[in-house]
Every structure is written in C-alpha cells, then in structure tokens.
Amino acid sequence: MISDFAFIKETIMYTVQVLLSTYNGEAYLKEQLDSILNQKNIAVKLFVRDDGSSDGTVDILRAYAALHDNMQYLSGENCGVVASFFRLFELSDPDVDFYALSDQDDVWDEDKLSIACQKLEQIRKSKSQKKKKNDSQIRTFTTPLLYCCDAWNTDDALNLLPESMQTAGRELVPDFRNALIENIARGASIVFNQALMSYIRISMPQDIYMHDWWLYLVASCFGEVCYDSAAHYKYRQHAGNALGAAAPSGCSRFFRRLKQSRTNGGHISRQAKAFERIYHVPEEKQPFLNIVTKYQDVKSYRKMGKSGKYLFRQNPKDNRIFQLMFYSNHL
C-alpha cells in the first residue's frame, strides 16, 4: 500500500481543468470525452458548457457526469463558440494547476496533457532560475504560459489523411508579430497556466475572431508560448467542423485567402483594436500593434506590413500572399 501510494503521488503531478463547449455534437462526443477522462498521470477536472444543442448531446453529458465525479456540465442558450468559451473562462476553477481547451469531436493521446504540463513546468523552472527566484508554485507563477501542439488530421472515421500533420512537422515560431495576423494555437491543443487566465479575465470582448487566437495573442505579448511540433491528438475532419484544417496551395491558396478576407471583413484589425483597448502593451511591441490597428487608414503602415520586417505568417507562401493583400488593403 505504501509503495502504491508513493507511485500515485509521484506520477499525478498536476491538476488540469479541461474546458469544453459543445453544440449538436452527439456523433463524436463520447470518443472525445473518453479520451479526456482517460488521460494518464494527470488529475483531470472536466467542465463542459452546452451551447443550446438540439440533438442528444446533453443526454450524453448527463450520463457521463453521473458516472464521473470529476466532470460537471451546464446547459445554456446558444451564444456561439467564442462567447461560450468565455463563459467557461468566467466560471473556471481557480484551484487547478493548468487549464486545457477541447473540441467536441477529436481524440486525444493518453499522454497529451502530461506532455503539455511537463513542457510548461520546464519553462517555469527555467525562468525562475534566470530571475534567481525560487518560485516553486506553478499556480502562483506570474508569467503567462501557453502550450500548443500539432495534430494528426483524420477523416470522420479517424483514418489518417494524406497530409496527416497540420504543419508537416515544421517548427513554428511563436511571436507577437505573428499572433497579430495569424493563429498557430489551435484550441484543442492549448494548455495554459493561471497567470494567462488572469490576463484573459481582465476583459473578454465579443469583437474578436476566435477565443484560441485571443489566448495566443495575449500569451505572446505578455508571456511565453511553447509550440510542440509533435502531434498529440487526432483532429477529425467532417462537415460539422467549426474551422477546418485544409491547406490549399498555389492559386487556390490565394483565392481562398481573398474569399476569407471579404467574408471576415477586417477581423485582424478589429481584434487588434480590441487588444489595444484592453491591455497596456509593452513599449517595444507597440509599433507592431500600430501597424495592424492603423493600416486601413494609413498607407505608410501598409508599406511596413508589406516589408516583412514587422509582421509575418509561418508559411512562406502564405506570408507573400499576406503581404500583397495587406498592402492592397484587402484584409
């Protein structure tokens, strides 16, 4: 009994609250819930908000919550994915080490959370040592930390697609200059600390594009982002995805971007303006923010954005397309 207890104490190091918003997700929800609740070496607390489902999603949540003491759910009116996650942020448990976000239709590797927590803990220790500060409590660490990783793209039956990894194993470079115009932190991959949640809770505006992009933006400005190029979950592609992972190339890539820009109509600028309204941005990062908030009205800022010195997208082809569209004011 003593050795068993010692093993549990050593391996279950962190408590992670997983935040999940559901909407008409009965087709794949059970597999997602199982993969969350079966995480290894992590004390999981699962908190689900249903965003007004009309299918059997709530019945599934009710049945799972009855079987698992570490799961709770609430039902609400339909308000959209961003507002639904913001509601989860407002009601999240302050007595945990980390938070994780989840989609309703993926399948996680059993060590997904433990890997994320270990990497975030390594960053905390490194920063504490550099500051010569013995900050041994992850919950009181004041620097916002965010982890995100790659995923295996699959069809609806979880068969790997030809382009199986979202970034084909490329090493992405998290940076505020990138976060202003592109999101590399896909929600289902995100794990973050108490400090970042505190920043997010300052204000949760409704005029942003996506909640996961907002987390990446805040973390890259005020803290540190860890991007893991390894894939730790299966990202299911099907007709009901909120956002797909398809990545066209060549001319099709350009016309897709053009169509998106016309549909979304200035979302990059609106999101940046909301960020500037809420946060006091460090002086050295303010020039990058100015380019995105003012480019629509000031040609000199469009030239700066086109130059490639101040803003960048991760994919070189995407970067060239962005520069062209930014300068021509089509974003």
- Tell me the Ramachandran region of residue 158: left when phi exceeds 0, alpha when psi lies from -120 to 50, beta otherwise: left
- In this predicted structure, the answer to whether residue 55 has a pLDDT above a threshold of 80 is yes
Check pLDDT > 80 for residue 323. yes
Average pLDDT over residues 178-184: 96
Instruction: Provide the percentage of residues in the chain whose pLDDT is more than 90.
Output: 70
Decide if pLDDT at 328 tops 70: yes
Report pLDDT for 134: 55
Mean pLDDT of 87-98: 97
Compute the average pLDDT of residues 281-298: 94
Where residue 1 falls among pLDDT bands split at 50, 70, 90?
A: very low
Rounded CA Rg of the chain: 20
Q: How far apart are CA 101 and CA 197, in angstroms?
A: 12
Whether 292 has a pLDDT exceeding 90, the answer reads: yes
Quick check: 236 and 158 in contact, CB under 8 A?
A: yes
pLDDT of residue 163: 74
pLDDT at 254 over 60: no
Handedness of CA 240, 234, 42, 219 (dihedral sign): negative
pLDDT in tens, 199-240: 999 999 988 999 999 999 999 999 999 999 999 999 999 776
Average pLDDT over residues 135-157: 89
Give the domains, in start order, of the chain with CATH numbers: 2-236 (3.90.550.10), 250-327 (no CATH)
What is the pTM (predicted TM-score) of this model?
0.90
Alpha carbons 313 and 109: distance in angstroms, whole number: 28
Cα three-residue angle 80-82-88, rounded to 5 degrees: 100
What is the pLDDT averaged over residues 90-94? 97
User: What pLDDT was estimated at residue 123?
Assistant: 95
pLDDT (0 to 100) of residue 252:
59
Identify the pLDDT of residue 71.
Answer: 98
